[in-house]
Structure 1
């Protein structure tokens, strides 16, 4: 993610300290710390809602949407930790005024916000819960933010809402509330492009979905993704898919869907020609690398590279595309890629069949491409494969800055499975 975005968040969290010395005089330090935790949680949640809007400036400030969404996730988790600490540490101070029914109601909303957010965060990181159920519950996070904002505005605190710090926090609450209202607004009120499915074809284990615009088309670059809402497929929630075809004059789009999860499996078997689709985007910066490159696509990770191969200029530096497949029958867009490799002298297609050559590693990649250290490596595929390459490619002369990928996971855990696996390995190592 971009450093400017992290700096903006850090500055926003630090702003309350501009007035903290005057507030802290004669106050209990522990209670003041608890008060700040509550303010910090509101600031973090407001930024999290702001990123979720996907407004044009989001990627410019916080980085490509895959990176912005990781920040979105960690801001939410950080806010939850701060709220728990705020509730655990006594924030009450003497001499702040008389408690009224409104103050007590604000305290109650704060408690509801705490437990509601805790439940939703647990649902978010419990990735075994089906996507559509998580998505349905996730929309309530904004309601609990509004409860938290009401709690802040009307509880007794060591400053007034009209003080500079009070006005600053009021702006934070307004930004977070407006952002939540935007993301919760009916789909028809938000900008999108109308498309219609013209064809659905089988592509190995995946299906390719061709779309034609029903009005003003989407303008994208090869390698980008968009959010697609298939209103005729029995569900209305948008989902990100990479656009698997280069831009064309008509504005037609194509996406390739593999049945990997509960939602994508439903998409793969439900879409038909004639169905309406709403498209929001484009997003992402994948494929902007310059100079000689190596592309590695595995499984449905082939999708951005098909578009990039179509758009590859004749004068571009050489590209070697390692297409990792189980076998030819399961490979999506294979005939198309082979045709492109024939027509483009600067595109070299290498089929890496796991059934005969085993799993691709950094060592075998270096043996396949002797000048690997002089190239940028672009990857799209399974997470474990990416982690393995990221760990071992530096040993082959490919630095971290030259290993490029998008990590767009709309919903992730916090590494619990990896932690359990690591602890289990440690246990096995000690017992042997």
Structure 2
């Protein structure tokens, strides 16, 4: 994630401290701290809504979309923690004014915001709850943010809404509300490109979907992904898929979908030639072959970005070793296509790894293929998270550094990692 985006968030969160101490002179310090926590919660939620828009500038400020979404997740969790602390620590100050009906209504709005956000954030990190249910409930999160903003506007506080701090908070919250309105608006409001499916074919245990533009095509680089709304199959909610072919003059796109979850399983059965598709994007910065030798490690449907990268590999690019791990050859998507590409490109070496025959791919297996010294290589990985972490640790003794280990951790919805932490603690006992 980019330092620019993190720095912007930190400055925005600390900015109220420029004015708040002066407004709190002679007042309860603990209550003042609680009010600051309430402001922090609103600022964090506003930034979370801003990132969720996927506006073009988001990646420029906060980093590639996979990293931006991690910032989005932790902003939401941080906002919830700050809000719970704000509710727990008494924020009431004496002598600020009478308890009017408007003030009481603002207090009620604050309670609605607190409990509504608590429920929705819990659903978000409880990854066992089905994706479609989470997605449906998540659209209401902005309503509770608006309730929190109304609570802020009309609650008794040590400064006026017309003061510099009041104007600052109002501006921040309005940005968040505009961002929420944009994400909650009908799909026609968001910029997208119309496509139509021209072919659906089996690729191992996955389905390859070819599509052509019905107007101006999406301009993208190999390795990028986009959000696809398969409106013709009744699944209009955009979902991210990596584009599994290199750009060409026709504007054609291809995505390769493996039935790994509830939505993808339904999609793989419902898609058919002739159906319309909407495409938003592209996003991401994964994989740019250059002057440094590279090792590409793909597992299962993680082959999708490498298929596009292999097609676009320039003759003068540095040598690339592609290790493609799969259970058996009949389950491997695009294997024959990649073999043909490798046969035509001297700087691309394809190494299929069938786990049924060779066992699970590990650090020793990678080192045996690439050589024992990876210090001068960039390693790109796409596949299961557990395998990514295991290889990162296993390849460190062979010279692989975190700086040279590249991957996209694009997970719209993730837990807190508490299970992994618990396993580590148990292993130490």
TM bracket, shorter-chain basis: over 0.9
Q: Which residue of 1 aligns with 2:261?
A: 261
Q: Which residue of 2 aligns with 1:157?
A: 157
State yes or no: 1:318 paired with 2:319. Answer: yes
Please say if residues 363 and 396 of structure 1, whose CA atoms lie closer than 8 Å, have aligned partners that are also in contact: no
Q: Distance in 1 between matches of 2:5 and 2:133?
A: 31
By how many angstroms is 1:363 displaced? 2.3
Q: Which residue of 1 aligns with 2:350?
A: 349
By how many angstroms is 1:364 displaced? 2.1
Please say if residues 289 and 317 of structure 2, whose CA atoms lie closer than 8 Å, have aligned partners that are also in contact: no
2:395 aligned to which of 393, 396, 412 = 393
By how many angstroms is 1:357 displaced? 1.3
2:412 aligned to which of 403, 410, 413 = 410
Q: Distance in 2 between matches of 1:7 and 1:373?
A: 31
Please say if residues 131 and 262 of structure 1, whose CA atoms lie closer than 8 Å, have aligned partners that are also in contact: yes
Please say if residues 289 and 313 of structure 2, whose CA atoms lie closer than 8 Å, have aligned partners that are also in contact: no
Please say if residues 229 and 277 of structure 2, whose CA atoms lie closer than 8 Å, have aligned partners that are also in contact: yes
By how many angstroms is 1:425 displaced? 4.4
Q: Distance in 1 between matches of 2:82 and 2:423?
A: 28
Please say if residues 231 and 275 of structure 2, whose CA atoms lie closer than 8 Å, have aligned partners that are also in contact: yes
Query: Residue 156 of structure 1: SS of its match in structure 2?
Result: coil
Q: Which residue of 1 aligns with 2:204?
A: 204
Please say if residues 321 and 351 of structure 2, whose CA atoms lie closer than 8 Å, have aligned partners that are also in contact: yes
Query: Residue 237 of structure 2: SS of its match in structure 1?
Result: coil
Q: Distance in 1 between matches of 2:153 and 2:340?
A: 64
Q: Distance in 2 between matches of 1:50 and 1:33?
A: 26
Q: Which residue of 2 aligns with 1:104?
A: 104
Q: Distance in 2 between matches of 1:17 and 1:378?
A: 43
Please say if residues 375 and 400 of structure 2, whose CA atoms lie closer than 8 Å, have aligned partners that are also in contact: yes
Q: Distance in 2 between matches of 1:125 and 1:310?
A: 38
Q: Which residue of 1 aligns with 2:215?
A: 215
Q: Which residue of 1 aligns with 2:283?
A: 283
Q: Distance in 2 between matches of 1:413 and 1:108?
A: 30
Q: Which residue of 2 aligns with 1:304?
A: 305
By how many angstroms is 1:424 displaced? 4.9
Q: Distance in 2 between matches of 1:263 and 1:23?
A: 51
Query: Residue 102 of structure 2: SS of its match in structure 1?
Result: helix
Please say if residues 123 and 134 of structure 2, whose CA atoms lie closer than 8 Å, have aligned partners that are also in contact: yes
By how many angstroms is 1:374 displaced? 1.5
Q: Which residue of 2 aligns with 1:33?
A: 33
What pairs with 1:38-53 in structure 2 (closer than 5 Å)?
A: 38-53=38-53
Q: Which residue of 2 aligns with 1:145?
A: 145
By how many angstroms is 1:423 displaced? 5.0
By how many angstroms is 1:360 displaced? 1.5
Q: Distance in 1 between matches of 2:268 and 2:106?
A: 47
Please say if residues 66 and 411 of structure 2, whose CA atoms lie closer than 8 Å, have aligned partners that are also in contact: yes
By how many angstroms is 1:72 displaced? 0.0
Q: Distance in 1 between matches of 2:375 and 2:204?
A: 33
Aligned length: 427
What pairs with 1:179-190 in structure 2 (closer than 5 Å)?
A: 179-190=179-190
Unaligned runs of 5+ in 2: none
Please say if residues 12 and 43 of structure 2, whose CA atoms lie closer than 8 Å, have aligned partners that are also in contact: yes
Runs of 4+, deviation exceeding 4 Å: 423-426
Structural RMSD (CA): 1.0
CA deviations over 1:321-357 (Å, ceiling 9, x no partner): 0000111000000010000000011000001111121
Please say if residues 193 and 217 of structure 1, whose CA atoms lie closer than 8 Å, have aligned partners that are also in contact: yes
Q: Distance in 1 between matches of 2:384 and 2:363?
A: 15
By how many angstroms is 1:368 displaced? 1.4
By how many angstroms is 1:392 displaced? 2.3
Please say if residues 50 and 179 of structure 1, whose CA atoms lie closer than 8 Å, have aligned partners that are also in contact: yes
Q: Which residue of 1 aligns with 2:376?
A: 374
By how many angstroms is 1:375 displaced? 0.9
Q: Which moved more, 1:133-142 or 1:287-296?
A: 287-296
Unaligned runs of 5+ in 1: none
TM-score by length of 2: 0.98
Query: Residue 256 of structure 2: SS of its match in structure 1?
Result: strand
TM-score by length of 1: 0.97
Q: Which residue of 2 aligns with 1:358?
A: 359
Query: Residue 105 of structure 1: SS of its match in structure 2?
Result: helix
By how many angstroms is 1:233 displaced? 1.8
By how many angstroms is 1:288 displaced? 2.1
Q: Distance in 1 between matches of 2:16 and 2:357?
A: 61
Please say if residues 195 and 277 of structure 1, whose CA atoms lie closer than 8 Å, have aligned partners that are also in contact: yes
By how many angstroms is 1:372 displaced? 2.6
